[in-house]
């Protein structure tokens, strides 16, 4: 048996745009099921919002997202979580960084760090903080 951990991001009306953005960065399969399709729209204006959404990349990337309905409390918070992307090669991480950085706010530019040959942090246009780095073997 195996277990996969997948970040599940919550939005208030922007999950579709976020998922489409992540799909443009990571590729793979994009799935979006609306409240209308799931027969779960609590309000007419929420019918086209995302009930279930995910991007599954061919390289192992996975993320899920949905729109929190107005009947539920929601506050994104500041840096409540980081989505971490780790790769084996600087070229791979730099390529993802370049696409993910479009329209994003760079918190820490992609550069060598004391713990990785390439590390960077940014906040995307949807308020999600991403950390990208090249994985290194640690002995301890």
| Span 81-101, pLDDT tens digits | 899 999 999 999 999 999 999
- Bridge partners for 86 per DSSP: 133
Quick one: 57 and 98 in the same domain? no
**In terms of residues, how long is the chain?**
140
Compute the distance between CA of residue 43 and CA of residue 64 in angstroms, rounded to an integer: 23
Quick one: 63 and 108 in the same domain? no
The angle, 0 to 180 degrees and rounded to 10, between the axes of the packed helices 90-100 and 15-26 is: 150
Quick one: 123 and 95 in the same domain? yes
Q: Is residue 50 part of a domain?
A: yes
Task: Give the residue carrying structure tokens 């799935």.
Answer: 31
Give 28-70 pLDDT, tens digit per residue.
999 999 999 999 999 999 999 999 999 999 999 999 999 999 9
Cα angle value 22/107/101 (rounded, 5°): 30
Q: Is residue 3 part of a domain?
A: no
What's the pTM value of the predicted model, to 2 decimals?
Answer: 0.87
Q: Is residue 48 part of a domain?
A: yes
Query: What CATH number corresponds to the domain at position 116?
Result: 3.30.720.110
Compute the distance between CA of residue 1 and CA of residue 102 in angstroms, rounded to an integer: 38
Question: Range of 23's domain?
Answer: 8-67
Compute the distance between CA of residue 4 and CA of residue 41 in angstroms, rounded to an integer: 29
């Amino acid at each position: 048996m195996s277990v996969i951990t997948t970040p599940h991001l919550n939005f208030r009306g922007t999950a579709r745009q976020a998922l489409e953005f992540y799909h443009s960065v990571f590729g793979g399969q994009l799935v979006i099921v609306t409240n209308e399709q799931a027969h779960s729209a609590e309000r007419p204006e929420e019918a086209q919002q995302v009930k279930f959404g995910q991007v599954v990349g061919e390289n192992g990337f996975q993320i899920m997202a949905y729109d929190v309905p107005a009947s539920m409390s929601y506050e994104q918070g500041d840096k409540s979580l980081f989505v971490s992307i780790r790769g084996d090669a600087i070229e791979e991480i730099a390529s993802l960084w370049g696409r993910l950085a479009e329209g994003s706010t760079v918190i820490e530019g992609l550069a060598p760090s004391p713990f990785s040959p390439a590390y960077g942090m940014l906040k995307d246009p949807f308020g999600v903080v991403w950390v990208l780095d090249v994985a290194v073997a640690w002995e301890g």
